[in-house]
Amino acid sequence: MLMIFTFGGVSSSFFGGGDGSSFGRSTVALGEGAGGGAEVATAVVVCGGGGSLGCFEQAARKSRQRAAFVFMGARISWPSGIRLGILRPVRPYAAMALLFVSACAAHRAPRKPIAMAPLRPAAPLRTEPAAMPEPEAPPERWYFEWLSRDGKRALLRRIDGHALSDMQTRVVDVDTGAMLEEATLEELGRLPSQTVGAGSKESETATLDAMLAEPSFAGDLVRGAELARGFPFGSLGRFSAAPNGAAIAFNAGDWVYVADKSGHVKKRLAPEATYDPRFTPDGKNLLFRRATGKVDGVFAKYELFIVPADLSSPARLLAGTAGARDRVVVDGEGKAAIAIASHEPQIKTCVLSVGLKAPFTVKKAACLDGAEPLVDSVLSPKGKWAAMTTTAKDKRWHLRVVSLATGKVVLDEPAEIGLVIRAISDEGLLVQSGPRGIMVDDVRVKPKKRHEVDLDVDLGHRGFFRSANELVYVHGASVAVAHVD
């Protein structure tokens, strides 16, 4: 049996043995708190089972303060100073009362357990994946189609990604870099890339004819003509507009078609593969390349043809133009077109002069010896110089520069690794660029005179001279001018 008595700060514990004997031990500890407060004492008395009240009295004498008796969970208090001796006459009854109280306390209705929410497993932590940075858009790439005759405007065509198929085109001011005009010629961009050969089908030809008859296609032809008309040959890729606005010519796959000024398609020029339509400066005739057979039993042989812009007479072959390439310029007098023809070793590499008026005389202005296949070439703005890279017999590239005024090769040397020909001026300044920088060679003197241009720029595929020392080149989505003297 356990009884705990407290007297103010006094606590007493009583342990009863189970055999009814009385034995005891009492300890009292008194002291002051840190603040000089109440007396604190503890009395421990061990007694028999029937000596509960006696034990209480014995413990109560230890204190003069208020006593509290806790027996089997029941708490009973007496004011301090009351002598417990008054309870002796009624000791039996008090004992019985204490037993009754303790029994009641022992049999109190159990408390309801506190309702506890069932434990739920912790939800897994949701970690959002780290936001990935938006990929940077690839840089725009523009191809330099033409520089206007006065050197004030540049015609550019975008050639990266889907923009290539949309035929995005713009005209920019050379001096300010500002965009003057822009158009996206989606219908022209939808034209097939092949209409002749194993990949072409009759059903696709019918589809092409239906496409060419659509009003939206005619609208793109007219819009393209407005952009290209002010540039040499009125050309934009494989598209050309007569400077006088009378006609439009374009490639659809491997065929050239001619339309009137409103975009109504009139005729296909030939069933054979034909490419690169170019109107003469007066707008009265149209030059184009057409396949006329095989060069070596494998590769097609292309020759120049000319036809009136109004299609009033059939196209006719210009003899001596076999192997003609697509790059053409007009001479300073506007009387001849200058082009390069080559398909070594079957067709000698030569610079051709083609008369732009009847009888359209063809002359060989200069030729290269050595039977070396042509790799790349550039012509000066008015056709006074030509620079060509060829493949020598040792498989290394060779650089040749030709003066068209004299017909002579003025520079013949191995091409330098890391440099590619970009442009040549009418004054004989040859520009090459690459990882090594921008190099300018004056080929009019021997030995050639070289200097490096202090510009950290990429001249791109090619540039155009607009004066003796001003080179216009693509810069981002516009153009810039480099002084190369």
Residue 483 lies in a domain: no
Are residues 295 and 308 in contact, defined by beta-carbon separation less than 8 angstroms?
Answer: no
Q: What is the DSSP letter of 88?
A: G
DSSP state of 58: H
Q: Per the domain annotation, does 37 fall within a domain?
A: yes
Q: What is the pLDDT, as a whole number, of residue 203?
A: 65
The Cα–Cα gap between 470 and 455 comes to 13
Residue 422 in tokens: 């970009």
Distance CA 148, CA 131 (A): 48
Q: Which of 277, 289, 273 is nearest to 225 (CA)?
A: 277
Q: Which long-range contacts (CB under 8 A, 24 or more apart) does 40-43 make?
A: 40/8, 40/9, 40/10, 41/7, 41/9, 41/10, 41/11, 42/10, 42/11, 42/12, 42/13, 43/5, 43/10, 43/11, 43/12
Q: Which helix (H) or strand (E) holds 452?
A: strand 449-453
Task: Tell me the CA distances in angstroms from 199 to 189, 202, 290, one per residue in order.
Answer: 19, 10, 19
The answer as to whether 230 is a domain residue is no
Domain annotation covers residue 59: yes
Q: Residue 65's domain spans which residues?
A: 2-106
- DSSP symbol at 110: P
Could you tell me if residue 373 is inside a domain? no
Per-residue pLDDT of the chain (485 residues; tens, 9 = 90+): 444 433 333 333 333 343 333 333 333 333 333 344 333 344 444 444 444 444 444 444 444 444 444 444 444 444 444 444 444 555 555 556 555 545 555 455 555 555 555 656 666 666 666 777 777 777 788 999 999 999 999 999 998 876 667 789 999 999 999 999 999 999 988 888 888 875 556 667 888 999 999 999 999 999 999 999 999 999 998 899 999 889 999 999 999 999 999 999 999 999 999 999 999 999 999 999 999 999 888 889 999 999 999 999 999 999 999 999 888 999 988 999 999 999 999 999 999 999 999 999 999 999 999 999 999 999 999 999 999 999 998 889 999 999 999 999 999 999 999 899 999 999 999 999 988 889 999 999 989 999 998 877 777 778 999 999 999 999 888 999 999 88
Burial class (CB in 10 A: 0-12, 13-18, 19+), 324: buried
pLDDT at res. 112: 57
| Strand bridging mode 42-47 / 10-16 | parallel
Amino acid in the structure at residue 192: P
Query: Residue 26's pLDDT is what?
Result: 36
Distances in whole angstroms, Cα of residue 368 to Cα of each of 182, 226, 350, 365: 41, 39, 6, 11
Look at residue 9 and tell me if it is in a domain.
Answer: yes
Strands of 331-407, DSSP E: 336-343, 347-355, 362-367, 374-379, 385-391, 397-403
Q: What string of DSSP letters covers 185-240?
A: -HHHHTS-S--SSTT--HHHHHHHHHHHTSHHHHHHHHHHHHHHTTSGGGBSSSEE
- Does residue 190 contact residue 204 with C-beta atoms inside 8 Å? no
Instruction: Report if residue 447 sits inside a domain.
Output: no
Distance in angstroms (rounded) separating the CA atoms of residues 52 and 59? 11
Cα separation, 52 vs 1, in Å, equals 9
pLDDT at 350: 96
Does residue 425 contact residue 382 with C-beta atoms inside 8 Å? Answer: no
- Structural domains counted in the chain: 1
DSSP notation for 461-472? S--EESSSSEEE
Structural domain contains residue 226: no
